[in-house]
Amino acid sequence: MSITRKWSAKQQRTLEILIRLKRLYPDAKCTLNYETPVQLLVATILSAQCTDERVNQVTPELFRQFPDAPALANADLEVLENLVRSTGFYRNKAKNIQAACQMIVTEFGGQIPKQMELLLKLPGVARKTANVVLAHAYGIYQGVTVDTHVKRLSQRLGLTEHTDPIRIERDLIRLLPQEDWENWSIRLIYHGRAVCQARKPMCDVCVLADLCPSSQE
């Protein structure tokens, strides 16, 4: 019985955190620029260990030359590498983008699949990328996107004790309403950049301080 009460209290605290984040960041949305699900997939792959701002500087020319899956599937790999070079790990990203688009063309009729299990078959696509694409391209919420900000803040807020993104995602799914799964992540990312920074969190100005165990240490 004590475990039930403890879990319920954590869920209520999580919902209060969510309410405050919604007030603080009412217009939270994906900051990657794209026009189609394929372009969102590509931009999300490029965003690994890279800022969205940098990705948005790269994708206009990339999508001008290669606007869809068939074009990317048949692109010269060296040209792709040069176009995405500034995002880091460009050889691996270019290879995965091309391989994913080739699979999209040959196995999915040129369209991004709407099922998590099918998305995860694409080269370069793990749950983080799949969650972003499903949520923002199709309005399908199958999980919580866990990047470095979400991982750090979820731990600091005492919402998970895990370090593995999949286990963190499972904890958050249990605590949050499904319709808020993806925008929760975006709001945590905003808050991680603006206030709860990695090296020096600004607990003295944080609206979540009274709900955060780490601010009281």
Instruction: Provide the annotated active-site residues.
Output: 128, 147
Are 114 and 134 in contact by the 8 Å Cβ rule? The answer is: yes
Phi, psi of 142 (to 5 degrees): -110, -5
Three-state SS string across the chain, please?
CHHHHHHHHHHHHHHHHHHHHHHHCCCCCCCCCCCCHHHHHHHHHHCCCCCHHHHHHHHHHHHHHCCCHHHHHCCCHHHHHHHHHHHCCHHHHHHHHHHHHHHHHHHHCCCCCCCHHHHCCCCCCCHHHHHHHHHHHHCCCCCCCCCHHHHHHHHHCCCCCCCCHHHHHHHHHHHCCHHHHHHHHHHHHHHHHHCCCCCCCCHHHCCCHHHCHHHHC
